[in-house]
């Protein structure tokens, strides 16, 4: 699937503001995510990327501004509310529970119950259905180098664990997947697998917001790059329109951009 810039954006932030006392973490920030794209969000430390992403994933309630999902205004008071509307977030830490197996991790907090009275009254889990769906999703995403779905996640490598977290987001994210530094803790080979997986999820129709400090990774996978500076979008560029050093220059304020490209 290729990005559709002529269509209704899937997710939009308009004029978001978040203040912590005298610090303005988000300062009238805009962001637009179109169907079929990987939108990278880059910015210096303290630029307000995490705060922006938290607002989009329901982990923070903005003081001002609006969030639109498929063109409709939405208000999230918790991450659960954002998830219920199809926005899944993969956090860098907390990605998976090591002691649980792969299938249990995929369904953590959203376990399937057995049909009928066994599930509704006795709350019995449908382990078989969860394992089958987990297996199918891992296979679909090309993650079947992991042999056994009932294998404990603590026995997997860092890249495989991140793969499980990405598979979970693809399993439940019906509209948007937000990934916060998914390759930060990984080696070269593992990063490559996770980047391919991210592209695979995009190609299967889920648009992605990717927060990353890794410029080569961003330039490799992003369709567009939202550059965040001083709490707002300084520019939206593409890997074709600008070089990595130009992106860094915009990020740090060394290079000015005209207002037209700042439209998110
Ligand atoms: N809970 C909080 N309380 C007070 N100040 C905060 C809080 N969260 C963030 N800030 C401040 O808001 C600003 C933006 O922080 P934020 O974490 O969103 O930036 P960031 O771009 O994600 O940075 P990094 O790349 O270092 O994670 C910073 O000045 C930070 O100190």
Q: Report which protein residue has its CA nearest ligand 1's atom 2.
A: 20
pTM summary value: 0.87
**pLDDT at residue 263, as a whole number:** 46
Task: Tell me which residue range forms the domain holding 214.
Answer: 11-97+176-184+207-262
Most confident of 12-16, 133-137, 184-188: 12-16
CATH (domain of 68) = 3.40.50.300
Cα distances from 176 to residues 12, 154, 170, in angstroms, run 11, 28, 9
**pLDDT at residue 28, as a whole number:** 97
Dihedral sign for Cα atoms in the order 120, 124, 125, 127: negative
Q: Is 171 inside a domain boundary?
A: no
Q: Is 25 in the pocket of ligand 1 (CB under 6 A)?
A: yes
Q: Is 231 in the pocket of ligand 1 (CB under 6 A)?
A: no
CA of 95 to the centre of ligand 1 (A): 20
**pLDDT at residue 210, as a whole number:** 96
Residues 6+ apart with CB under 8 A from 112: 125, 126, 129, 130, 133
- Ligand 1 pocket test, candidate residues 48, 56, 218, most atoms within 8 A of CB: 48
Q: Report which protein residue has its CA nearest ligand 1's atom 30.
A: 46
Indicate the number of domains in the chain.
Answer: 1
CA 71 to chain centre: 19
**pLDDT at residue 258, as a whole number:** 66
Residues 6+ apart with CB under 8 A from 158: 185, 186, 187, 190
Least confident of 95-99, 157-161, 174-178, 222-226: 95-99
How many other C-beta atoms can be found within 10 angstroms of the C-beta atom of residue 194?
Answer: 22
Q: What does the buried/exposed string (b/e) look like for 123-153 if buried means 16 or more CB atoms within 10 Å of the residue's CB? A: eeebeebbbebbbebbeebebeebeebeeeb
- Per DSSP, the three-state class of 44 is coil
CA of 19 to the centre of ligand 1 (A): 10
Q: Is 79 inside a domain boundary?
A: yes
Q: Is 1 inside a domain boundary?
A: no
Question: What whole-number percentage of the chain has pLDDT above 70?
Answer: 94
Q: Is 2 inside a domain boundary?
A: no
Given a contact cutoff of 8 angstroms between Cβ atoms, the answer to whether 245 and 12 are in contact is no
Q: Is 62 inside a domain boundary?
A: yes
pLDDT tens per residue, range 27-64: 999 999 999 999 999 999 999 999 999 999 999 999 99
Q: Is 50 in the pocket of ligand 1 (CB under 6 A)?
A: yes
Alpha helices in the chain (DSSP H): 49-56, 79-84, 102-106, 117-120, 127-140, 158-172, 188-203, 215-221, 244-252, 259-262
What mean pLDDT is predicted for residues 126-135? 82
Q: Report which protein residue has its CA nearest ligand 1's atom 31.
A: 46
């Amino acid at each position: 699937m290729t990005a559709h810039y002529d269509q209704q954006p899937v997710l939009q932030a308009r004029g978001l503001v978040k203040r912590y006392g005298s610090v303005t973490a988000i300062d009238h920030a805009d962001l637009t995510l179109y169907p079929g794209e990987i939108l990278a969000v880059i910015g210096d430390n303290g630029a307000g990327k995490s705060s922006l992403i938290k607002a989009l994933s329901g982990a923070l309630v903005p003081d001002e501004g609006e969030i639109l999902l498929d063109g409709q205004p939405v208000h999230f008071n918790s991450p659960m509310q954002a998830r219920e509307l199809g926005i899944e977030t993969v956090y860098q830490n907390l990605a998976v529970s090591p002691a649980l197996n792969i299938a249990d991790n995929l369904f953590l907090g959203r376990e399937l119950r057995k049909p009928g009275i066994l599930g509704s009254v006795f709350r019995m889990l449908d382990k078989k259905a969860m394992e089958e769906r987990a297996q199918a999703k891992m296979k679909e995403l090309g993650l079947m180098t992991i042999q056994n779905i009932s294998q404990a996640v603590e026995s997997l490598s860092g890249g495989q664990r991140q793969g499980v977290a990405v598979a979970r987001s693809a399993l439940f994210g019906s509209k948007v997947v937000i990934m916060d530094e998914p390759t930060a803790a990984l080696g070269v080979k593992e990063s490559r697998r996770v980047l391919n997986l991210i592209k695979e999820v995009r190609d299967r129709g889920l648009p992605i917001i990717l927060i990353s400090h890794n410029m080569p990774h961003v330039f490799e996978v992003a369709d567009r790059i939202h550059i965040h500076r001083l709490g707002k979008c300084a520019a939206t560029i593409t890997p074709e329109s600008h070089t990595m050093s130009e992106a860094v220059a915009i990020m740090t304020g060394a290079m000015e951009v005209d207002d037209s490209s700042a439209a998110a």
